[in-house]
Amino acid sequence: MDDRVNVTFILIDGYVELHKYRYLYFVILLTLYILIICSNSTIVYLIWNHQNLHEPMYIFIAALLINSVLFSTVNYPKLLIDFLSQQQIISYSACLFQYFAYYSLGGSEFLLLAAMSYDRYVSICKPLQYQTIMTKTNVNVLLVVAWLVPACQVSVSTILSAKKKLCASILKGIVCNSTIQKLHCVRSTVLNVYGLFILVNVVICPMIFILFTYTRIFIIAYRSSREVRRKAAQTCLPHLIVLINFSCLSVYDVLLLRLGNEFPKIVRFIMTLQLLMYHPLFNPIIYGLKMKEIYKHLKSLFCKTP
């Protein structure tokens, strides 16, 4: 039997000039990780602690920020260990777990944004029915679906990958994402088709739904009073900014499997860091500064007068 099919550890080969900049990378990533945890946790605490923020819109925001912390926690500790290690390796089982968490939490991001767009649609387009539609039970169902559906679907892809034999042990990246399929002895048509199914189900369909709801919101807001237009702009604009930001970064990950060899190593390194660093830190900034009620509590928390 060929020994290459018995690979149990994977060498991570996506870092650029690690021997020269390892301590700089470590300090920057550790600082960003602390900022991500503190900034997201602060806003989640404000939402949890203030009764006037116990509304569906803010609950979805808190869920989105918790999702960002979980996403960062899956990736950052391993990156920090790699920066200080002489050899950057990961077991195949740990790599598969990171793959599972990476895509299930990424899918949850889109479904949570879809839930938020639905909440805004009901609030602005059907204000008289808002209390009967966005009940506590319905909000909880949307949250469970947003986290459970991607996890169940990605778990199937993870199990299929676990059964594949490896004929390579060098990962051209810094996290275990779709590029692990390039290590398989035989590229699986089933995995490719199922991956496309997941992409349509947890990314494309939620994006179409979000674009539809916001189009309806802006049409109705345009025809309504200035107060309705102000409310639509104030509550919907931050969600759209977050969606555009995350979608643009996610396009890279989709292209990575198809055109991975076409990207220079430094481009793959920078783009992956953008996805890991930029988005989890971007969310609390947008919601903390653009959402009026959150900003008010944030300001009172850090600018208390004696």
pLDDT tens string 179-204: 888 888 887 788 888 888 888 888 88
pLDDT at 81 over 90: yes
% residues pLDDT > 90 (the chain)? 33
- Is-contact 228 220, C-beta < 8 A? yes
pLDDT number for residue 240: 79
CA distance 212 to 221: 14
Give pLDDT tens digits for 223-277. Answer: 777 777 777 777 777 777 778 877 777 777 766 656 555 667 787 788 788 778 8
Burial of 202 (0-12, 13-18, 19+ CB in 10 A): buried
- The SS3 of residue 21 is helix
Which class in CATH covers the domain with range 3-293?
A: mainly alpha
Report DSSP state, residue 163.
Answer: T
CA distance 209 to 207: 5
Q: Which residue has the tokens 């990575």?
A: 256
Considering the entire predicted model, what is its pTM? 0.88
pLDDT at 132 over 70: yes
- The SS3 of residue 185 is coil
pLDDT number for residue 271: 78
Please provide residue 5's backbone torsions phi and psi, each rounded to the nearest 5 degrees: -85, 0
- Is-contact 137 234, C-beta < 8 A? no
How does the average pLDDT of the chain come out, rounded?
Answer: 84
The pair of three-digit structure tokens given for residue 172, joined into one six-digit string: 């051209």
